[in-house]
Amino acid sequence: MLTVIDRLEVELAEKKAESESWHQFAKDQSAAIDQLKEDKHFATMEEQRAKEQVAKIEEIDEQDEKIGQLNIKITSLNFGIEKAQEELATQKDLTVTSNRQILILQDRLSERQRQLEEERKKIAEDRANKIPLFGNQAGSAFESPEARLRAEIEMKNREKAELQGRYDLLVEEVRRLRGRERAPAKLFVTRSGSCFHEAGCNHLKHGQQDRPKIEYSRCRDCLE
């Protein structure tokens, strides 16, 4: 039979084995806790990266929307510029046509003036030489040659005045067209519009409130 000492040694050996087992269990649990902490840190980093990716995607979507709005505005502005250029080309064509008509009228006026001058010279020569200005034409008994001559000169003067009036009207029209070719110092375009407006245009207001608008200035190189 075992003595008390033997039993105590056996019990001590069991306690040592149990202590070593708990010590190993504690080490395993500590290692598991460290692994969990590491996994948690990795998961936190992955979550942060995912949030950053989502924020970047949202920012890209927002930039894409802004780019789309800018493209719409650019398209609208290009359309307005094309219309303005077409109108300007039309006005230039009208100006060229008016200038051509003015030159024609100037030539006709110069020709009339030359003819009148020649007729005045002929009248002066006829009077100096006492040569009858008209032959035995019908109605000579009722109207003297001097009266018919004065009537002819008066008719030429009226025709000259009429040509001068038409010439002055065409000059005024050219001045008006040239004034329209000159762009105003500032133009405005509403955000949703496709036309250029001057500062006092009613389309720049919504009731009593000003519409949102973009301001453009005249180019000093091509429109001054």
Phi, psi of 200 (to 5 degrees): -95, 10
Tell me how crowded residue 195 is: count the other CB atoms within 10 A of its CB.
15
Phi, psi of 64 (to 5 degrees): -60, -40
Q: How far apart are CA 8 and CA 16, in angstroms?
A: 12
Among 21-30, 75-84, 130-139, where is mean pLDDT lowest? 130-139
Local structure of residue 197 (DSSP, 8 states): B
Q: What residue spans define the domains of the chain? A: 183-224
Task: Give the per-residue pLDDT at 221.
Answer: 65
Q: Give every CB contact of residue 80 below 8 A, 6+ residues apart in sequence.
A: 189, 194, 195, 196
Higher pLDDT, 147 or 35: 35
pLDDT over 60 (residue 91): yes
What percentage of the chain has pLDDT greater than the value 70?
83
Token pair recorded at residue 138 = 């019908």
pLDDT in tens, 45-82: 988 999 899 989 988 888 888 888 888 888 888 888 88
pLDDT over 80 (residue 177): no
Task: Give the per-residue pLDDT at 1.
Answer: 55
**CA neighbor of 101 nearest in space, from 154, 177, 38:** 177
